[in-house]
Structure 1
């Protein structure tokens, strides 16, 4: 009865427009109070204890740092230089600018751990460039929003950090390595419909008339941006620093490049950068801590075990259950952001993962692929929201283009489902 009330209160508050974090925390606190109505303080001392416990985890220190990295590289001019270098390589022609947008978004995924920050950095450069070349604004916004979704798969990734905190046996380095091949495959899968749609609908008619940047000059200007993922990921692999320390190194590297090499960041800009990244980090971490109260109420009320038994005894079998979970998460992903999906559903799904002996790292990649799809699936679509704002178009105008890209990335998720080694081979080779 109390467990049912917990979910009713949570859903009612969400439908009433209460922020996701507050809905999780208040519903959990109400359930704890009702369950402990006979005790002093109604057991509410568990609320601050679990609020702190949800936040007091070392890997979470990396989240504000990687969010800050995204903001720094957004303003440093690195994206523009990477775009020019990519154009110098692939040249001009129908479909080439969408290809460049996706490739640059994938590369920036090796620097920042935030999809919306990636969409802002790439969109700020590419949407205007694609508009000058004759691409419709709705198509440009669709390409950038979809491309930025590869950010949470290609390490470093905020989503993987949150997942590692929730799931024992899934370390951050192992998840980072596991996301690399699926992330690259997702980017390649997006390139196919982007180029095909460009040529089918004869977009970018003016692209061939625009100048091609000189190769060696573009390479010299892009070299500092090209070195960033090598420093971050190579340093972690070499054992020079942990993923959390790598985030701090990336912050100082980005500031050095922006302030002293490209000189696009000035001291007066630091306050704005710190404020924006601080606000976004605070939102993420408050949701994480409030979800700790919700998770505690789920475990103490005995909700998880009955749900697990009902699912595994449903007669669907292992693959039927997996298909059901994917369908559920696809539906939920249209309305909730990725961090919220992890915080709400991972505690419920973890016993099912353990029952079927699924590899937690592989399941984390599947779940993150689903979250990546949700980042450009209307109506929420946080990445698409950012790119549409830059392109000054309504999200409804992107549906005719986004559908093809969703289908392409969905096929990648199916491939990882059928061939788990696509996610597990690299961590195994690296010894994680």
Structure 2
């Protein structure tokens, strides 16, 4: 009966469209109360889930991403990469992929990257390069998912807080998988451009234009370098790096790009508080859900089942679980629900936890643009750009080639650990 209450309420609330935090928290709370668990234990578990020093980096990373998004960095990055690649066949679509990698390294959010880049690049791809609206929107949705793989990534911070791995090392480990995802999407762009015999949007702009746009985008490009260089060089911890990034973003936005005023900063602080509060609510609810799974023996049963099939079977099941989870819930919730269950089995099979974290994260990234409810699909479809509206159904079909090449990259990352680990070994 306890299992029925827990999972029945959870799936019922999901079907009804309830927020994921409510679905996780209410279902596990009702099951625990029915089982006679003290509410004091519930409160202490919620606190233990969110009361971690490492998680202090989350609001700072959110703030730095919000600041740089509002400071006009996306337009400057697009201008710089366009000067480099815009003269090639499918150049603007390639610009979209490359800029999504850079912007994702600043924002750390797939949905934020879709919103920042889509409004500029979707019309450009359709009008200047003659890509179809569904394909252009699909490239934005799929490329933006790289935001949770390219460091700094909030999902990596969450994973590190759950497993105890080094944040600096998992940040560095995410560079190559993120680049591989970007290259795979560029292959799709080239295939589509050649299939439809599309022409470049403009001619070579010259080195002077590249230098001019580089200088304009320099301060935005420097932020990931400061964060990763500081962490990997031992100058500061991940939490301190997040605070440095936030202060740096304020200085760049106010003094160099001059896009931020005192009133806009207050808005950004308020938006960051709302985003962080929502994220911590999800983390707290997911912690209770994970605690309920452990208390009711679900975790042990799953671990026994996964531990009896061999390493390759475990990796296959892990990929399927995280890929499906990424289609229905956000990456951070999925991490809190499944990582504590699967981590002991991964350790039993001798799988490096940083490698396992990359497998989890790449699956969740692919889930962001995979139907039925990939978050990036709905954000991209919901922008309603005049003359370029794309229903979710058409967008999902257009994303099939992107999903296939992303799955190919996932297979490589799963079977060849050194793709993830060679930069940190």
TM-score band (shorter)?
A: over 0.9
| Deviation (angstroms), 1:151 | 1.1
Name the structure 1 match of 2:150.
154
| Deviation (angstroms), 1:130 | 2.2
1:233 to 216, 228, 238: 228
1:107-147 CA distance string (max 9 Å, x none): 22332221112222222332233233133332221111111
1:81–1:221 Cα contact (<8 Å) kept: yes
| Deviation (angstroms), 1:221 | 1.0
1: CA distance, partners of 2:392 / 2:358 = 27
Name the structure 2 match of 1:69.
64
Q: Comparing 250-259 with 123-132, which one deviates more in the overlay?
A: 123-132
1:73–1:258 Cα contact (<8 Å) kept: yes
Name the structure 2 match of 1:408.
405
Name the structure 1 match of 2:30.
30
Over aligned residues, Cα RMSD in angstroms?
2.0
| Deviation (angstroms), 1:209 | 7.0
1: CA distance, partners of 2:18 / 2:285 = 13
1:65–1:251 Cα contact (<8 Å) kept: yes
| Deviation (angstroms), 1:26 | 1.8
Name the structure 2 match of 1:178.
173
| Deviation (angstroms), 1:27 | 2.0
2: CA distance, partners of 1:132 / 1:210 = 19
User: What does residue range 414-425 of structure 1 map to in structure 2 within 5 Å?
Assistant: 414-425=411-422
Name the structure 2 match of 1:78.
73
1:368 and 2:361 are equivalent in the alignment = yes
1:143 and 2:136 are equivalent in the alignment = no
Name the structure 2 match of 1:39.
none
Partner secondary structure for residue 246 of structure 1: helix
| Deviation (angstroms), 1:322 | 1.9
Partner secondary structure for residue 373 of structure 2: coil
User: What does residue range 273-422 of structure 1 map to in structure 2 within 5 Å?
Assistant: 273-313=268-308, 316-390=309-383, 391=385, 392-422=389-419
1:111–1:229 Cα contact (<8 Å) kept: yes
2: CA distance, partners of 1:409 / 1:427 = 23
| Deviation (angstroms), 1:211 | 6.8
Alignment TM-score, normalising by the size of structure 2: 0.92
1:119–1:144 Cα contact (<8 Å) kept: yes
2: CA distance, partners of 1:15 / 1:129 = 37
Name the structure 1 match of 2:256.
261
2: CA distance, partners of 1:323 / 1:387 = 30
Name the structure 1 match of 2:201.
207
Q: How many residues align?
A: 419
1:212-261 CA distance string (max 9 Å, x none): 78222112212112222211111112222211111111112122222221
1:258-287 CA distance string (max 9 Å, x none): 222122222232233223332222211100
1:186-215 CA distance string (max 9 Å, x none): 111111101221231244x57137977822
Q: Comparing 316-325 with 229-238, which one deviates more in the overlay?
A: 316-325
1:143-183 CA distance string (max 9 Å, x none): 11111111111110011111111123x22112112111111
| Deviation (angstroms), 1:309 | 1.5
2: CA distance, partners of 1:367 / 1:96 = 31
Partner secondary structure for residue 399 of structure 2: helix
Name the structure 2 match of 1:427.
424
2: CA distance, partners of 1:77 / 1:154 = 20
2:171–2:228 Cα contact (<8 Å) kept: no
5+ residue gaps, structure 2, are none
